[in-house]
Amino acid sequence: MQFALSEEHTLIRDSARRVAREVIAPRAAEVDRTAQYPEDYFQALKAADLLGITLPREVGGADAGTLAMGLAIEEVAKYDCSAGLMIMLGALATHTIKFFGTPDQVERFVGPVARGEKKAAFCLTEPDAGSDVAGLQARAERDGDEWVITAQKQYISGGPVADQVIVFAKTEPGNPRSTAAFVVDTKTPGFEVTSVDRKMGVRGLPTGVLTFDRVRVPHDQMVGGEPIGMRGPLATLNSLRPCVGARGVGLAEGATEYALNYARERRAFG
C-alpha cells in the first residue's frame, strides 16, 4: 500500500497552504468578527483551482479525488473553517448531479461551480427532517413540462450567497422512493432567503433558511430526469464525510499552533 502523497496531491496541498497563509490567515479574525462573506477567499481559491477538486476535468474540475480535497480543506481550516467549508460546498452541491445527472446537466450545472463562476448550496435539511431523507416534507408537483416546488429548508450552508442550489423534494407524499433532486437558480421567482442564522463560529460562510414558494423549474432541471430516491442525497453526503473530518483536523492543528505560539511568547510573573 502506498502511503506517500502523489505529485498531484502534493501540488494541491501546497497550493492550498499558500492561499491559507497569504490570503486567509491575515483576514480570519476580521471575517469572524464581522461575519461578512469573504469574497477574497473565494476568488483566491478560484485562482488556485481549488473549488472543483473532485469534479470532472471535462467541465473544469481537477478530478483529483477525496484525499486531495481533504488535504486542501485541512490546510485552509487551520486558519478559518469558513474557507474549508467553501471548498467542500462546491462538491456537496454538485456530487448528486455528478453521480446521477445526465451529461448535459453535468456540463450546465457542475461546470460553472467547478470553474468558480457560480456559488452553490445543498438544500436537504428541513425543520422536521435532517439527513433523515425519509422524513422530508418538501413537495414537487408535475405541471406539464415543469415541476412546482414547495419547501422550506434550514441550516443551509452558503445558501444566502448561492447562485444555484440543489433541492430535494418528494414527488409523491410519504414515499421516500419518490425523492427527486432539482437544480434551482436562486433568481427564480418564489425562491427567497427568509433568514440568516447568527452563529458562534464559521461566521464567514452564512447559513440560513431558504423558502421555495411554488418555484417552477423545467423538467430538464430534475437530476437524471426521474426520482432518484434516498440514494441521491445519501451518496452525496457519504462521499464527503472524510472531508468533514479533515476540516476538524485542520481546525485542531490551527488551535494547537495558536496555543503553542502564545505559550512561547507569554511572559508571566514579570
Contact 165, 193 (CB under 8 A): no
User: Helix crossing, 65-77 with 231-265: angle to 10°?
Assistant: 40
Domain check: are 217 and 129 in the same one? yes
Contact 135, 179 (CB under 8 A): no
Segment 148-198, tens digit of pLDDT: 999 999 999 999 999 999 999 999 999 999 999 999 999 999 999 999 999
Domain that holds residue 31: 7-102+108-114+233-265
pLDDT band at 134 (very low <50, low <70, confident <90, very high): confident
> What does the alpha-carbon distance between residue 239 and residue 95 come to, in Å, rounded to a whole number?
8
Q: Which residues contact 72 (CB under 8 A, 6 or more apart)?
A: 12, 13, 15, 16, 50, 53, 87
Average per-residue pLDDT for the chain: 96
> What does the alpha-carbon distance between residue 138 and residue 174 come to, in Å, rounded to a whole number?
10
User: Helix crossing, 65-77 with 81-92: angle to 10°?
Assistant: 150
Question: Residue 133 pLDDT more than 90?
Answer: no
Question: Residue 38 pLDDT more than 80?
Answer: yes
**pTM reported for the whole predicted model:** 0.94
> What does the alpha-carbon distance between residue 143 and residue 212 come to, in Å, rounded to a whole number?
16
Question: Residue 78 pLDDT more than 90?
Answer: yes
Contact 40, 83 (CB under 8 A): no
Contact 77, 229 (CB under 8 A): no
- Judged by average pLDDT, the poorest of 7-21, 34-48, 124-138, 178-192 is 124-138
Domain check: are 46 and 138 in the same one? no
Domain check: are 59 and 151 in the same one? no
Total domain count for the chain?
Answer: 2
- Structural domain contains residue 203: yes
**CB-count burial class (<10 Å; 0-12, 13-18, 19+) for 197:** middle
Domain check: are 55 and 127 in the same one? no
Q: Which CATH number is 214's domain given? A: 2.40.110.10
Q: Which CATH number is 64's domain given? A: 1.10.540.10
- Structural domain contains residue 88: yes
pLDDT band at 129 (very low <50, low <70, confident <90, very high): confident
